[in-house]
Amino acid sequence: MAHRVVIALGGNALGKNLPEQMIATRETAVAITDLIEEGYEVVIAHGNGPQVGMIQNAMSELVRSDPDQYVTVPLSVCVAMSQGYIGYDLQNAMREEMLDRGIDVGVATVLTQVEVDPEDPAFLHPTKPIGPFMTKEEAEKLIAERNYDVIEDAGRGYRRVVASPQPVSIIEIQTIKSLVDTNHVVIACGGGGIPVFRTNGHHLKGAAAVIDKDFAAERLAEEVEADTLIILTAVEKAAVHFGKPDQRDLDDLSADEAQKYIDEGEFAPGSMLPKVEAAVRFVRSRPGRRTLITLLEKARDGISGHTGTMIHG
C-alpha cells in the first residue's frame, strides 16, 4: 500500500480574492504534484478564513441593499459556497499540473459536512478568525454596526472571530475513502467542513461556526487511515519564543515534547497552537504516524526529513 498523506492548506495561502486564488492554486498544485509524482497517495483539506468572510460580507451587503428580495445566508451555507469556490480552482489546477507531467490520476472535490456537538463550549467563546485583516477603526465599526466578535490576530491586525467547535465525525467519509482507495486525489473538509449537528431523525442542521481546518484535517487523516499529516503554513518550522531574540526553531520532537510546549503557552492561539495540537492528536492516534509542519514549497523536502518540524509518537 502506498504511503498516504493528508495535506492541510491554510485559507490565507489560497489568496484573498479570485485572481490571487487562481495564482495560488497553481503554485499549490506544483508542490502537491511533486509528492504524487514520488508515489504518495494524497488527500487535501484546506482552510477558508479569508474566503468565507468575503462570501458572508457579500451576502450581507445584498440583504442590506434589498431586504425584501434577499434573506440572510447562514454561515454554514457560506462555508459550503467556499468549498465549491476553492475546490473548483484547486481541482482544475491539480488536474492540469498532473496531466502536464503525464500523471493520469482523477481529482475530485467532495462537498463535506462535519458533525459538531451543539453543546461544545466553543459556541460560547468565539475564537476562529475569518475574513480580511482590519484596522482597529474598521474593527470597531463592525462591532458597533453588526455586533461582531473581533480580536487582534498575532500582531497582523484585527479580524472577526466566530465559534470553532471540535469535529466529531465526517459525514461523507465513506465517499471520500472510496475515491482515495480507487486512486483519486480528493479535496475534502474544505474550510474545516460544513459544520452540522444531528437533530430528530436523520436531519443535519447547519451550525453558525467555522471548524478549524487543522483539527478537521486531523480527523480526516485518522478516518482515511493516513500515515502522515502535513500541515502547511506561513513558516518553515514551528518555534518556541517566537518573535523574540531567543527564538528557537523546532526540527524533530516527540508528541510529549510538543505537548510540553503547548502547556507552557509557546504557541499562539488561532495561529500555531491548533496546528501543534492537531499534530499531537494525530501521532497519538496510532503508532507510527507522524505530522510535518512546514511551508508549502518545502513539503517535498520536509517529508524527506530535510526541513520543517516533524512530530512523531
What amino acid positions are annotated as catalytic residues? 11-12, 128, 213, 275
Long-range contacts of 143-147 (CB under 8 A, 24+ apart): 146/60
Q: Contacts by 276-280 with C-beta closer than 8 Å and gap 24+?
A: 276/238, 276/311, 277/214, 277/215, 278/8, 278/212, 278/214, 278/215, 278/217, 278/218, 278/229, 278/231, 279/218, 279/229, 279/231, 279/255, 279/311, 280/255, 280/311
Beta bridge partners of 252: 310
Distance, in Å, from the CA atom of 29 to the CA atom of 22, rounded to the nearest integer, reads 11
**Is the distance from CB of 157 to CB of 75 less than 8 angstroms?**
no
241 vs 70: CA distance, rounded Å: 49
User: Among 232, 288, 305, 246, which residue's Cα sits nearest to residue 3?
Assistant: 288
Question: Which residues on adjacent β-strands are paired with residue 292?
Answer: 230, 310
Measured CA to CA, the distance from residue 147 to residue 150 in angstroms comes to 9
Burial class (CB in 10 A: 0-12, 13-18, 19+), 284: middle
* Residue 247, Cβ density class (10 Å: 0-12 exposed, 13-18 middle, ≥19 buried): exposed
